[in-house]
Amino acid sequence: MDIQTKIGVAGAGTMGTGIAQVASSAGHEVIVFDNSRDALDRSATGLRKTMNRLVEKGKLSEQDAKSLLGRIRHVTGADAFRECGMVIEAIVENLDAKRSLFNEVEKQVDDTCVLATNTSSLSIASVGGRCRLPGRLLGVHFFNPAPLLPLVEVVPGLDSEQGLAEKVRDIVKTWGKVPVIARDTPGFIVNRIARPFYGEALRVYEEGIAGFAEIDAAMKTLGGFRMGPFELMDLIGNDVNYQVTASVWEQMFYDPRYRPSITQQRLFEAGRLGRKAGRGYYAYADGKPVDGVPAEPGPHGEEVYLRILCMLINEAADALYLGIAGKDDIELAMTKGVNYPKGLLHWADELGAREVYESLCRLREDYREDRYRPSLLLKRMAADNGRFFT
């Protein structure tokens, strides 16, 4: 697949529009399909505004902006995909809707066209299970906003052709992205490993150990995270974050490590979705929190920080042990996908595997919950004073 390949994007929402911009920036002709004319119009308008801002800031010439927009075509018929070498789906996170879409796309494209789903939490095997040629389908998960965030998770499904993931990874790399390959497991790399950043923070709050602002301050001040967990959940949207957590929990057969929080469920039910709703864990005015997060983490800051960090490291170690991804891809995913200040496996080496393991053992002993069970890999490394990196 080269620069002459036409790229199809199904879905003209924020993600689909962002993916179209990325592909066009790399020189591809792009066809954006959506059943909704209004969605297509919003997509086209949004792209023009984005290009105008980039020109005003001097990041793009007027000619380059014009050329980029000229390579993108918005259509209401999937038959326009007939000349595409790759079609990326970016519609609603619903299995039946995705399956239906790919059934329609397969009627239009030839047998060599690569099909990709941008799902963040659904099984690639399930999405491709009803395809006529499931071997040509895989996951290509961009992070929002797609033009700005570099990480892309490339996820082969059970039936994906041998070598397809590597082929698509190389294509995505030419688009200026940082691709990593992950196994088709719930949450892939980022949405699996990052769950304790939210879930354990909520658990600490529910136990009354610290408030939202104190927990956020601990993770920012002591851990160096750009945003605290509650700030980040408000930015992502409590509807999105809660639904991803629930999806991972269900797909992991209700493993207590991934259990959703009643606190977040209630906020979701009350419509307190975060910045976009004007209220979440914090209140917002003009998109900014009314009361900022304090600089000081509070009296339990160190305890909070280490508890959440050890849970994150445990997830990263388990992902490596279970072959979800290689250690380098795990580190790239967490630093490039969610902007962690350092890779969790490198962080484990700094703290020491034994220290992390013993912290988890203490939590498990205190709570008697499988939520805090240490990864077998971490246990073995603690016994041998092992390191993830030399």
The residues, ordered by sequence, that sit 6+ positions from 188 with a Cβ below 8 Å of its Cβ are 120, 139, 141, 153, 155, 182, 324
Task: Assess whether 148 and 233 both reside in one domain.
Answer: no
Task: Assess whether 175 and 235 both reside in one domain.
Answer: no
pTM of the predicted structure, to 2 decimals:
0.94
Task: Assess whether 200 and 175 both reside in one domain.
Answer: no
Domain boundary (153, 181, 209) is at 181
Q: What is the block-wise mean pLDDT of the chain (390 residues), using blocks of 10 residues?
A: 85 97 97 97 98 97 97 96 97 96 97 96 94 98 95 98 97 97 97 97 97 95 96 94 94 96 97 95 88 81 98 98 98 96 98 98 97 98 95
Q: Is residue 88 part of a domain?
A: yes
Task: Assess whether 155 and 197 both reside in one domain.
Answer: no
Task: Assess whether 170 and 261 both reside in one domain.
Answer: no
Q: Is residue 1 part of a domain?
A: no
pLDDT at position 3, please? Answer: 63
Task: Assess whether 253 and 333 both reside in one domain.
Answer: yes
Domain boundary (136, 164, 181) is at 181
Task: Assess whether 199 and 177 both reside in one domain.
Answer: no
pLDDT at position 290, please? Answer: 85
Annotated catalytic, 120?
Answer: yes
Q: Is residue 298 part of a domain?
A: yes
pLDDT at position 55, please? Answer: 98
Q: Which of 29, 89, 106, 153 is catalytic?
A: 153
CATH number of the domain enclosing 81: 3.40.50.720
Q: What are the beta bridge partners of residue 75?
A: 33
Task: Assess whether 272 and 289 both reside in one domain.
Answer: yes
Task: Assess whether 335 and 228 both reside in one domain.
Answer: yes
If you count them, how many residues does the chain have?
390
pLDDT at position 390, please? Answer: 86
Domain region containing 41: 6-181
Q: Which of 118, 120, 121, 238 is catalytic?
A: 120
Annotated catalytic, 141?
Answer: yes
Domain boundary (140, 165, 181) is at 181
Q: Which of 43, 191, 241, 359 is catalytic?
A: 191
Task: Assess whether 163 and 273 both reside in one domain.
Answer: no
pLDDT at position 297, please? Answer: 87
Q: What is the DSSP letter of 368?
A: -
Q: Look at the block and give the residue holding tokens 């030419």.
A: 174
Number of domains in the chain: 2
From its phi and psi, is residue 179 left (phi > 0), alpha (psi between -120 and 50) or beta? beta
Task: Assess whether 50 and 86 both reside in one domain.
Answer: yes
Q: How crowded is the C-beta side of 13, counted as CA atoms within 13 Å?
A: 11
Q: Is residue 356 part of a domain?
A: yes
Question: What CA–CA distance (Å, rounded) separates 43 from 91?
Answer: 13
Q: Is residue 346 part of a domain?
A: yes
DSSP H or E segment with residue 5 = none
CATH number of the domain enclosing 373: 1.10.1040.50
Q: Is residue 383 part of a domain?
A: yes
Report whether 298 contacts 228 (CB < 8 A).
no
Q: Which of 141, 200, 238, 314 is catalytic?
A: 141
Q: What are the beta bridge partners of residue 73?
A: 31
Annotated catalytic, 314?
Answer: no
pLDDT at position 2, please? Answer: 65
Q: Is 326 exposed, middle or buried (0-12, 13-18, 19+ CB in 10 A)?
A: middle
The residues, ordered by sequence, that sit 6+ positions from 111 with a Cβ below 8 Å of its Cβ are 133, 136
Q: Is residue 261 part of a domain?
A: yes
Q: Is residue 362 part of a domain?
A: yes
Question: What CA–CA distance (Å, rounded) separates 167 from 297?
Answer: 46
Task: Assess whether 52 and 79 both reside in one domain.
Answer: yes
pLDDT at position 289, please? Answer: 84
